[in-house]
């Protein structure tokens, strides 16, 4: 694996090419499509994922996003056989940063969702997956990489909202869950409290 740790990377104007962040390891997922006409991403959605659930350090997430997951490799994989999903970014426990879909394109990470009075959050959001299990904590290196890539995203795109999957699909999704430190992210990102879900910001 090509180790790309976002904490050491700048986020100036040369950081992007056609929606691809220069300082990530790139693997293009087939699971994407165009955004609606005249739609720019103004929200970042945070998720947590691990395959198998609670097992870290494997290649399952990458394989899932590339439609290469071997359904016979683990009993859990059988339950998601044929699933076609993707996220723009994936941050592993050590902070390694992967990108699977151009941020100019529509990734398949949100599913049935709604936020800010709008449905279909895939249309106008950037999805970031953190290697983890909903409700559990996340590593310092992940917060550091998230901070850097979020800064790069907000400099390049008109982001006005940062939310979790649990906030855009309440009752259906619970990630990243109570183990994620929203206040830590807000302090590091320097974004307005209004950018974050109610009750998850600095009062």
pLDDT (tens digit, 9 = 90+) per residue, 91-122?
999 999 999 999 999 999 999 999 989 999 99
Nearest to 54 by CA among 134, 142, 166, 146: 134
**Mean pLDDT along residues 145-158:** 97
Torsion of CA 65, 70, 72, 77, to 10 degrees: -10
Terminal C-alpha separation, the chain:
41
Q: Output the pLDDT for position 65.
A: 98
Q: Is 8 exposed, middle or buried (0-12, 13-18, 19+ CB in 10 A)?
A: exposed
Is-contact 24 4, C-beta < 8 A?
yes
| pLDDT band with cut points at 50, 70 and 90 for residue 13 | low
Q: Is pLDDT of 12 > 80?
A: no
- Cis peptide before 65, with omega less than 30 degrees from 0? no
Q: What pTM does this model have? A: 0.94
Domain boundaries, the chain: 40-49+88-195
- Percent of all residues in the chain with a pLDDT value above 90, rounded to a whole number: 89
Q: For the segment 24-78, what is each residue's pLDDT rounded down to a tens digit?
A: 999 999 999 999 999 999 999 999 999 999 999 999 999 999 999 999 999 999 9
Of residues 96, 129, 134, 166, which has the active-site annotation? 129
129 is catalytic: yes
- The predicted model gives 143-164 an average pLDDT of 97
In CATH terms, the fold of domain 40-49+88-195 is: Lysozyme-like (3.40.80)
Rounded CA gap, 154 and 160, in Å? 8
Residue 10 clears pLDDT 80, i.e. is over it: no
């Amino acid at each position: 694996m090509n180790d790309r740790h976002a904490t050491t990377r700048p986020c100036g104007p040369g950081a992007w090419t056609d929606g691809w962040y220069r300082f990530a390891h790139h693997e293009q997922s087939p699971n994407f499509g165009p955004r609606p006409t005249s739609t720019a991403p103004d929200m970042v959605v945070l998720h947590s994922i691990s395959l198998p659930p609670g097992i870290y350090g494997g290649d399952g997430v990458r394989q899932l996003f590339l439609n290469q997951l071997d359904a016979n490799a683990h009993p859990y994989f059988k339950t998601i056989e044929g699933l076609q999903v993707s996220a723009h970014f994936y941050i592993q426990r050590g902070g390694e940063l992967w990108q699977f879909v151009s941020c100019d394109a529509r990734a398949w990470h949100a599913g049935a969702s709604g936020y800010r009075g709008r449905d279909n959050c895939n249309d106008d959001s950037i999805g970031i997956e953190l290697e983890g299990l909903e409700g559990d904590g996340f590593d310092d290196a992940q917060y550091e990489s998230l901070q850097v890539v979020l800064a790069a995203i907000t400099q390049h795109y008109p982001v006005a909202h940062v939310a979790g999957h649990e906030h855009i699909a309440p009752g259906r999704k619970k990630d990243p869950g109570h183990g994620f430190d929203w206040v830590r992210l807000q302090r590091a990102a320097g974004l307005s409290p209004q950018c974050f879900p109610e009750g998850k910001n600095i009062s």
